[in-house]
């Protein structure tokens, strides 16, 4: 452990500003160590022995009890609690593991460790050696002083441990560990940063909360994952229509995205159903910690890399939640998590990447394949749920792409008074794909029911005085254009 955390905090009263700076540095180091704590992976799942012992020690510090505890005390006190809350077999061996190995995290000090007789493989002391010498162990002096004198910091540290490893906390856990009064109804509020905090740039976030200053998927100092979405950036992050969830593009600027690096971290959070932080920067605005989110699904779609080449990319479907605590999550989010099987839903199936728009044959063959993919999805929709709506949205992208291909960058209203020649920043035509017969009235997510319109014709179709007549004409046009493309595709 670093010297700043190991030394007593006796000089904190030197001055308010000096004390505040020192407290902030101590908390930052402590939170970094706590965030780095990784439970052992076993066949039956994650072994939470070390986080449990740490949480017990935090509770003792908060209650003002002594810093160091004899092995016999830990064995006889923590052992039964671990059996109750971790569902592990009773016995001193279950306590021996964290009592010895927690010291590797610099969050635990064990006196006279060098004099203990070790097992044959040298990985831990023998139980008889511990029982005979009964050594004392506990939090480092600096950490203990901080947690025992600063309840707000203690609440933040304890909240992080609980939300990371014991979420939701089993009934009675906080009471038995002496943390119920400290964390009563404020675990989510105790965590930092708080939702709504904003910063002018990524450097400013890192200066306060640590973490990488550039990467889009990366943890802060406390090792809780954050994802960053910049409206001016190269990725196609976007809210999902009418759902309020977010489609977040995976990690990797060029080439097919792979399940490595940031994407691998996202996969782990999806598997653990763990909340992460979502940061957003609107066009011309500041970075804001907008919401906690959980990953309810991952999809794969065709996109374009920064090199202009078509590539497969991941889309992580993020559902906002009030806090990282599971018992605060909305029912629809819990239902989506129960429905998610963790597989990648492939929206590129049977659809070639890109295509030569100047080649009529390849363009119309691509249209046929896009239409077939859209119909496959429409045929599978036999029930309604949030994830079905997510699928509908992303598979509708397939149908919309087909319609845009069919439009050849021109408004498909045959009576269009004038289509703007101006292009978007991405070089795309200014067109909006619309369901001629709205989805709410039974319209289908297939190209023959959809049409590409310029903004003016779209407004006339939606709000114009003669919209009924125009809608009838547009539906006929969409079907004729569809039949023309399908028949030319063979």
Q: How confident is the model over 58-95, as pLDDT tens digits?
A: 999 999 999 999 999 999 999 999 999 998 899 888 99
Q: From residue 479, how far is each of 369, 446, 476 by CA, in Å?
A: 17, 11, 5
Average pLDDT of the chain, as a whole number: 86
Q: How confident is the model over 410-447, as pLDDT tens digits?
A: 999 999 988 888 887 767 788 888 888 765 455 567 88
Cα distance between the two ends of the chain = 71
**The pair of three-digit structure tokens given for residue 179, joined into one six-digit string:** 């943390």
114 burial via Cβ count (<10 Å: 0-12, 13-18, 19+): exposed
Pair 346, 301: CB distance under 8 Å: no
Go through the domains of the chain in sequence order and give each one's CATH number.
3-190 (no CATH), 198-348 (2.30.280.10), 361-488 (no CATH)
**The pair of three-digit structure tokens given for residue 85, joined into one six-digit string:** 């809350």
**426 backbone dihedrals φ, ψ, rounded to 5°:** -85, 0
| pLDDT of 152 | 92
Q: How confident is the model over 368-381, as pLDDT tens digits?
A: 877 877 776 666 55
Q: How confident is the model over 150-189, as pLDDT tens digits?
A: 999 999 999 999 999 999 999 999 999 999 999 987 777 8
Q: Give the strands of the sheet with 136-138, arranged side by side.
A: 68-70, 136-138, 109-110
Is the pLDDT confidence value at 15 over 70? Answer: no
What global pTM score does this model have?
0.78
Pair 27, 153: CB distance under 8 Å: yes
Cα Rg of the chain (Å, integer): 29
Q: Which residues pair with 225 in a beta bridge?
A: 219
Q: How confident is the model over 221-252, as pLDDT tens digits?
A: 999 999 999 998 888 788 887 688 999 999 99
Q: How confident is the model over 110-130, as pLDDT tens digits?
A: 988 888 888 878 788 999 999
Pair 389, 242: CB distance under 8 Å: yes
Q: Which residues pair with 80 in a beta bridge?
A: none
Q: How confident is the model over 341-350, as pLDDT tens digits?
A: 899 988 776 5
Is the pLDDT confidence value at 365 over 70? Answer: yes
Q: Helix, strand or coil for residue 226?
A: strand
Q: Which residues pair with 223 in a beta bridge?
A: none
Q: How confident is the model over 458-481, as pLDDT tens digits?
A: 999 989 999 999 999 999 999 999
Q: Using CA atoms, how far apart are residues 313 and 263, in angstroms rounded to an integer?
A: 10
Is the pLDDT confidence value at 2 over 50? Answer: no
Pair 374, 398: CB distance under 8 Å: yes
- For 393-416, the DSSP string reads HHHHHHHHHHHHHHHTTS---TT-
Q: Using CA atoms, how far apart are residues 450 and 431, in angstroms rounded to an integer?
A: 13
Q: What is the dihedral of CA 204, 207, 211, 213, to 10 degrees?
A: 40
Q: Using CA atoms, how far apart are residues 89 and 413, in angstroms rounded to an integer?
A: 72
| pLDDT of 375 | 75
11-20, 44-53, 157-166, 470-479: segment of lowest average pLDDT: 11-20
- For 149-167, the DSSP string reads H-HHHHHHHHHHHHHHHSS
């Amino acid at each position: 452990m670093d010297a700043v955390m190991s030394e007593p905090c006796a000089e904190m009263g030197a001055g308010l500003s000096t004390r505040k700076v020192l407290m902030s540095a101590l908390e930052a180091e402590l939170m970094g160590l706590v965030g780095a704590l990784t439970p052992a992976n076993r066949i039956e799942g994650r072994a939470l022995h070390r986080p449990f012992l740490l949480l017990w020690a935090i509770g003792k510090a908060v209650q003002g009890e002594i810093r160091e505890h004899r092995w016999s005390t830990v064995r006889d006190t923590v052992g039964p609690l671990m059996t109750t809350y971790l569902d592990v077999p009773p016995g001193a061996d279950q306590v021996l593991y964290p009592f010895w190995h927690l010291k590797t995290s610099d969050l635990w000090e064990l006196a006279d460790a060098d004099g203990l007789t070790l097992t044959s493989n040298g990985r831990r002391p023998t139980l008889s050696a511990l029982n005979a010498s009964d050594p004392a162990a506990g939090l480092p002096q600096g950490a203990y002083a901080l947690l025992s004198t600063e309840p707000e910091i203690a609440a933040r540290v304890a909240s992080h441990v609980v939300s990371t490893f014991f979420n939701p906390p089993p009934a009675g856990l906080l009471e038995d560990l002496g943390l119920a009064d400290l964390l009563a109804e404020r675990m989510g509020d105790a965590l930092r940063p708080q939702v709504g905090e904003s910063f002018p740039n990524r450097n400013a976030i890192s200066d306060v909360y640590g973490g990488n200053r550039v990467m889009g998927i990366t943890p802060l100092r406390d090792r809780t994952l954050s994802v960053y979405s910049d409206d001016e950036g190269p990725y196609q992050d976007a809210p999902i229509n009418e759902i309020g969830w977010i489609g977040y593009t995976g990690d990797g600027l060029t080439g097919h995205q792979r399940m490595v690096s940031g994407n691998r971290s996202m996969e782990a959070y999806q598997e653990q159903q763990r909340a992460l932080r979502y940061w957003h920067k609107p066009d011309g605005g500041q970075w804001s910690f907008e919401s906690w989110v959980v990953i309810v699904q991952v999809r794969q779609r065709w996109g374009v890399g920064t090199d202009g080449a078509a590539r497969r990319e991941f889309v992580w479907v993020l559902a906002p939640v009030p806090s990282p605590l599971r018992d605060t999550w909305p029912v629809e989010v819990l239902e989506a998590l129960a429905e998610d099987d963790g597989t990648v839903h492939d929206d590129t199936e049977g659809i070639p990447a890109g295509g030569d728009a100047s080649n009529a044959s390849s363009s119309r063959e691509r249209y046929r394949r896009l239409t077939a993919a859209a119909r496959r999805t429409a045929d599978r929709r036999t029930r309604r749920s949030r994830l079905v709506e997510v699928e509908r949205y992303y598979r509708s992208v397939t149908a919309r792409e087909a319609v845009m291909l069919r439009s050849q960058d021109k408004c498909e209203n045959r009576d269009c008074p004038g289509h703007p020649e101006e292009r978007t920043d991405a070089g795309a035509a200014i067109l909006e794909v619309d369901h001629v017969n709205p989805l709410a009235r039974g319209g289908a997510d297939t190209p023959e029911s959809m049409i590409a319109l310029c903004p003016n014709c779209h407004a006339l179709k939606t709000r114009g005085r003669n919209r009924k007549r125009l809608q009838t004409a547009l539906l006929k046009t969409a079907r004729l254009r569809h039949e023309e493309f399908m028949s030319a595709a063979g």
